[in-house]
Amino acid sequence: MSDSTSTQQDCGSTLGFLVLRAWLGIRALVTGIEKFSDVRTVQQPLLDEAGKPDPSGAVVEIQQKFYSFHSYRAIPDALRDKFAQEPLLPSFLTSPFYAALGWALILLGITLLLGLWTRISLAVMGAIYVALTVGLILIKQDAGVAWLAIHIALIAYALQLSKHNRFALTRS
């Protein structure tokens, strides 16, 4: 194999890993941030076609998304209720997991995007997704299990490509 072909393959693997690292990092970061979102209903005056408030004083309710530490929810309430009924998921294990999940995803997203401890970040992210998968298996959420399986496969592939990790702040 010539040096040119080897360099092109290495460049392709490096770019492939960079794209995968970016996607997984953004996915984790945004998912973690979304754990702090909520929606509130706000009343605003109904506007006429000229953009002026309706003279009758009519109002419309508008849903507004916002973010706050107070709004933190690791998982939707409906899933949390199902998990609470599952005897193999005791609260002394799930409570700390829920408390750390959003923060862990944000931290892992940042470390992947910056290229800090990439292999460790990928392995921890894989462990989190495996833990989430176990919960979804227990409450029979097969679509969620399949979705997480795709993420785990991407993480496994990223770990395979991690030898091509360039543009990183650390080499591990």
Domain limits, the chain: 3-36+72-164, 38-71
pLDDT given for residue 9 in this prediction: 61
**Does residue 2 register a pLDDT over 60?**
no
Q: Cα–Cα distance between 35 and 75 in angstroms, integer? A: 7
pLDDT given for residue 4 in this prediction: 54
Chain CA centroid to CA 72, Å: 14
Residue 151 or residue 168, greater confidence: 151
**Does residue 155 register a pLDDT over 90?**
yes
**Mean pLDDT throughout 3-26?**
79
Phi then psi for residue 5, to 5 deg, are -65, -40
pLDDT given for residue 3 in this prediction: 56
What's the pTM? 0.80
**Does residue 1 register a pLDDT over 80?**
no
**Mean pLDDT throughout 3-9?**
58
Per DSSP, 167 falls in state S
Q: Is 17 exposed, middle or buried (0-12, 13-18, 19+ CB in 10 A)?
A: buried
At 172, the pLDDT band (50, 70, 90 cuts) reads low
Residue 134 or residue 59, greater confidence: 134
**Does residue 22 register a pLDDT over 90?**
yes
High-pLDDT (> 90) share of the chain, % = 48
Secondary structure class of 52 (helix, strand, coil): coil
At 20, the pLDDT band (50, 70, 90 cuts) reads very high
**Does residue 127 register a pLDDT over 90?**
yes
Give me Rg for the CA atoms of the chain.
22
- Residue whose C-alpha is closest to residue 132's, from 104, 161, 160: 104
pLDDT given for residue 8 in this prediction: 56
